[in-house]
A = this chain, B = another copy of it.
C-alpha cells in the first residue's frame, strides 16, 4: 500500500528545520501505527511538490530515516517503511477511568500550598517586564556558552558526559570553583569542602535537611526568599523570623537558643541591603557566643557594581561555623540549575550522601560546560558586561522612579538587579500587579516574602534584569499612574 501525500502537512509553529519536521512526522506516524511496515512512502518529488518545499530537503529527511532503520530503499522503486522499524504496541491502551484510589488517604505527606513565587510562563511577551530572575538575551553570552557546551559534547569528554558520577562531582568544575570563585570571596577550601548542587535552592534544601530537625531552631530574615520558608517548614524545625533593617539582619535580635541562622549578607533578598563589615563581625561573634551555625547565601555578590563586594562571612569564619551557598543559576541563567555548597568536611559528607540519595548528581554535561565557561574566562566577561548594563539600567530606573514620585524602601546598597519599593500606605500590591498585567507591566508584589499572618501588602519588587533601558521610563510611568488611580 502506498502512503498518500495528503497525510503530510507542515506545522507552521514547528521549532526546527523543515528536514527535521519531515523526519518527525514520519517517525511519529510509524510509532503510532499509522504507517505500517512495508508501506511505500511518497516519492521525494511528490512530497516536495505537495508541501511546497525543496526536494533536497525531503531527500535528506528520508536518508536520515534510512540510517535510523525507519525506512528502507528498494533501488528505483522508492522508499518503504522498514521491517526493522519500531512496532506500535500490540495491546490496546487503556481508556481513562475514574480512580478507585482515595488519594486524600493515600498521600502520606503534602507539599503543595507553599509560598513559592510564580510568574506568567509567557513573561517574555510582556512589554514592561520588571520581574526578577530571567535571562536577558541581549546580555547573555549565548555564543560562547554554546561553544563550551559543544566542547563538553566532544569525544574527549565522552565519559564526563555519559558516566554515572555516583557521589562525585566534575573534578574540573570543583577545581575552578576552588581556585576562581572562592578565592574572590576570600575563601580557602579543598575539594572535600565543596558539593555541587542543582542550584542554590537545592543547596539550601540539602543544608536544612542535614542540620535541622523538629527539635531545632532556625533564624530567618523577614522578609526573605519565600522558598526558604517552604524548605524550613518541610524540615519541621522551629522558625524564628527576624525583621531586617537597612543593614540586613540585626545580630543582637538573634535568640540564644538558635541553632542555624540563614542570611543573605551580600544583597539581602528582597530588600537588597548590603551588610556592613562591622555587622558581619558582630553576626559572627553572636553566632560564636550562642554556638549557632550560619548559612550564608551569597546572593548576587557578583552584582556589587556600586561598591566593591565585602568579604564573605565564610572568609571571616575561623570556627568552621559558616556554610556558604553559591550559585551559577542566577549569574549565568536560571535554567542552568547549578550551584554549590562550601563547608566543613563532616557537613559536606552528609549533604553529599543526601544528594546522592535524592538525585545522585547534577548532569555531567551541565557541570563540564560550566567548567569550560569559567575556565576560559567567559564567565568573568559575562559578569562584567552584566554589571555595566545593570549599572546603566539602575541609573535610568532611579531617575524614572524619582520623576514619577515612587518610593524606594531600601536605600543603602552595593548594586544588584532590583529595587525594593514601598507603595503608599494601604495599597494592596497584589491587586496593583493584577491591574498592571493588563497594561503589559509585570511587577512582583512583596507579600510572599514576608512571614506570618499579618504580612505587609504595600511592598513590591522592581527588577531591571530583563527589561530594556528604553522601556523603563514608560513602565515606571504606568506603575505610577496605576498607583494614583488607587
Contacts and interface: CB of A to CB of B under 8 A. Distances in A.
A378 interface: yes
Interface string A4-23: 00000000000110001001
Interface string A118-162: 110100100000000111010010100110011101011111111
A94 B317 contact: yes
Interface string A76-114: 000000001010111111111111110110111111111
A72 interface: no
A17 to B, nearest CB: 8
B321 A116 contact: no
Contacts of A384: 69, 84, 86
Interface stretch (A240-248, A350-358, A400-408): A350-358
A482 interface: no
A223 interface: no
A83 to B, nearest CB: 12
A93 B162 contact: no
B168 A121 contact: yes
A231 interface: yes
In this complex, the interface size class of chain A, counting residues with CB under 8 Å from chain B, is 35 or more
Given A92-B186, A93-B187, A316-B94, A68 B359 contact: no
Contacts of A188: 93-96
Interface stretch (A265-273, A341-349, A411-419, A441-449): A341-349
Interface string A276-295: 00000000000010010100
A88 B137 CA distance: 28
A386 interface: no
B157 A15 contact: yes
Contacts of A293: 101, 106
Given A109-B213, A156-B15, A186-B91, A377 B65 contact: yes
Interface in A367-411: 372, 375-378, 380-381, 383-384
Nearest to A377: B27
A435 interface: no
B111 A350 contact: yes
Contact of A363 (B32, B116, B347, B363): B363
A64 B424 CA distance: 50
Given A198-B198, A316-B94, A205 B358 contact: yes
A482 to B, nearest CB: 26
A31 interface: yes
Interface stretch (A48-56, A329-337, A425-433, A451-459): A329-337
Interface in A212-269: 212-213, 216, 227, 230-231, 234, 259
Contacts of A163: 134-135, 333-335
Interface stretch (A37-45, A176-184, A467-475): A176-184
Given A24-B376, A93-B187, A116 B356 contact: yes
Contacts of A259: 106
B185 A320 contact: no
A365 interface: yes
Nearest to A189: B96
A188 B86 CA distance: 19
A112 B353 CA distance: 5
A47 to B, nearest CB: 17
A271 to B, nearest CB: 21
Given A20-B372, A24-B377, A69-B381, 7 more contacts: A91-B311, A93-B187, A97-B320, A107-B350, A121-B168, A135-B158, A163-B334
The 10 closest A-B pairs by CB, nearest first: A99-B320, A335-B364, A162-B333, A100-B319, A27-B377, A164-B334, A103-B346, A135-B162, A68-B381, A111-B353
29 contacts: A15-B157, A16-B151, A16-B156, A23-B376, A31-B180, A69-B384, A86-B184, A89-B185, A91-B186, A93-B186, A94-B317, A99-B319, A99-B344, A100-B320, A103-B347, A104-B346, A109-B213, A110-B353, A111-B209, A111-B350, A134-B162, A134-B164, A149-B365, A161-B333, A199-B360, A201-B360, A335-B365, A358-B358, A362-B363
